[in-house]
Chains A and B, each alone.
Chain A
Amino acid sequence: MLLPALIFITALIIGPFLLSVWFSFTDQRLVPRPIPTKFIGTTNYARMFADPLFWQAIWNTVFFAVIVTPVQLSMSLGAALILNSAVPFRGFFRSVAILPLLLPMTVIVSIWAVLFRIPSGPFNAVYQWFAGQGNYVDFLGNPSVAMLSIVALSAWATFPYQMLIYLAGLQEIPQDLYEAAKLDGAKAWHRFRYVTWPGLRNVNVFLLIITTVGALKLFTQVDILTKGGPNGATTTIIHYLFKQGYANQKVGYASAVAVFFFLAVTAIALFQRRVFKNEGEA
């Protein structure tokens, strides 16, 4: 009974993992070529660390994660607080808020492609309302704005997931804590600060980790909308890996990137867990 799952895990996770470690030390190609594949030591790693585009990809990915995580989590928490309060039509609002989660990323991307249109898409229409006719922002074509546009899109696309988990967290906080705080004359902000926020600690740690790790994997939105451009401004690690390993067929090189990515993600997740767990205990 254990065997089928074990076979799948071995064949599809452990095997490929070991294989990619091996590949990372060779000049393996995707499609066979008429010259033999060689063991080339750490050449792939050396080249990777020497490639400015690789560093740009790392920087972009970190930038994205650092911005999108707090933005998205505050959106999610805000939405959860609203939907946890006594608003009328709560069921309706909750259903509406969940909609983006149901749309596949590819659909969301094409919708946002319209929103981002220049010079007269909806976002630019709003912008022109403030900045005057004839002005526009090239949301996807301007290197300093492109990644922020991807942040906005991504936060919109996935915030309901974290919102639902926050809602679950909010509902676990004992109601009598609020009652007690109210009796003590605590204002809404104080109730949030001293009852809600501490009560969400575990949820926060969990969401922080999964949101960051998810953000580090950014690929779909970028691949469809900007292909990593303009000027590498939206190249992410996974997009870099995909481009090198699939489009350029350099599996060996891309495997070095994959091994690096794995180590980085693990390190970041462990680090976050450690820091925030300790803080909670102190």
Chain B
Amino acid sequence: MKHALYAGVALAVCMTSPHASAGQLTAWVIDGDSEKPYFTQLEETFNAKYGTEGITVDVVPIPSYNEAIQAATLSGDLPDVIMLDGPNMASAAWAGTIQPIGDILNPEILKDLLPAVKAQGTYGPDQQLYFVSPYDSGTILWGNTALLEKAGVRIPTSVEDAWTREEMSDALEKLAALPEVEWPLDVKMNYGAGEWMTYGFAPFAQSNGGDIIDRETWIADGTINSRSNIETLTELQNWNKNGWIVPASAGDNKFYGEKTAALSWVGNWMWPAHREGLGDDLVLIPPPAFGEAGPISANGSWGWAVPASSTNLEDIKVFLNYAMSGEQVAAYADITGYVPSRASAIPLSKIYGEGGAGEIFAKLAECCGVVRPVHPAYPVITNAWATAVVNILSGDVDVETELDRAAQTIDQDIADNDGYPPFGQ
């Protein structure tokens, strides 16, 4: 028994991960079905191209990504390159866990980046780029033409003639009356109280003249719980009370699988699933104009960042510039259905180029995108907002109370961190 015991302990000690040697890079990426083929080819083509020069990369999809990054930050064991969700960049830069990458990216790439993508990756205090992404994203109303026509609903075709709030509410009512429709609108409540609730729902608020935090003073009270936000969320809450919104527990496929939902408010990552599920019945409808600001589409993306602990910058430079090269950016778009982040790549894209079925996404990115707040408190801001949205949309709670609570949570966190210096000074 004793020997077996020692063997067990020895084995436990020996099985720790081997540390990367020079020339061998490790990159952690998110574990998503639509991204998987892209990352596989990224690893293969990079290693084929640079393996002879002695640089190889191991691209590792990580399940439960955020928890994994947190555990690795604690253990001081981050890989050479990581992926971050864009809006969390400021938090990581403030905490000093990532380093600026503007100097190691080729200038032509920097020049070519879409403005929104660059804004998302630029940290306010030092105006340096800490984050870069091969793609941008957007939200849109996806519709099932067959159901919409049957209900006799007007289908907008451009941003200019987007539905107003009243029109959309009216459309939902008509759709709900159809016998084949169970809940007319899928807003992906099944994604849970995570980033989607900010990404997907802040546009409604912004369209109605609201926002989730004041971007000058960095105070949430008075902005997140403004009259217009209360109005916006009350409207959405009413839609849910009317039985117009697919509940969280009903699963993901009411729109594209069972086709018992006629509209879906979700990002362009659902392109492949929607295309396959609905075929020619699929129609892309611009976001509704909830208020005077007109239609607003979400934007932002996951992208590359370099941990402050990474020292192998020469090799990382080669990898990042490859991952952001024109062909790779185009490949990302073609494989995953996202909008390319480089202006020069958009016309090349089959989906988003002139006359492509997703042209409207590229248009929306130009006219109607609002970057999520670039501030170190973003994780708290988004969490507070998401909690409020989920609560409001899944029950009969008081909208104002929920938003007040979110405001208090955010402002308290900012105060607890002395205003996140040098912000707020």
Contact = CB atoms under 8 A, between A and B. Distances in A.
Contacts of A47: 412
B193 A227 contact: yes
B198 to A, nearest CB: 15
Chief secondary structure at chain B's binding surface: helix
B264 to A, nearest CB: 18
B395 interface: yes
Contacts of A52: 405
Interface string A1-39: 000000000000000000000000001001111110000
B95 A141 contact: no
Contact of A141 (B182, B247, B397): B247
Contacts of A199: none
A119 interface: yes
Contacts of A247: 383
A31 B74 contact: yes
A270 B73 CA distance: 40
A141 B248 contact: yes
B250 interface: yes
Interface stretch (A207-215, A228-236, A258-266): A228-236
A119 B260 CA distance: 12
A138 B247 CA distance: 9
A140 interface: yes
A248 interface: yes
B249 A35 contact: no
Contact of B248 (A31, A117, A230, A246): A230
Interface residues of B, number: 29
A232 B417 contact: no
Interface string B232-250: 0000000000000001111
Given A31-B70, A248-B380, A231 B249 contact: no
Interface string A84-120: 0000000000000000000000000000000011110
Given A27-B416, A138-B247, A141-B249, A231 B394 contact: yes
A139 B96 CA distance: 44
A140 to B, nearest CB: 5
Contacts of A140: 248-249
Contacts of B247: 118, 138, 141
B222 interface: no
A249 B70 CA distance: 10
Interface string A219-244: 00000000101111000000000000
A230 B95 contact: no
Interface in B179-195: 182, 192-193
Interface of B: 70, 73-74, 94-97, 182, 192-193, 247-251, 379-380, 383, 390-391, 394-395, 397, 405, 412, 416-418, 421
Interface of A: 27, 30-35, 47, 52, 116-119, 138-141, 143, 227, 229-232, 246-249
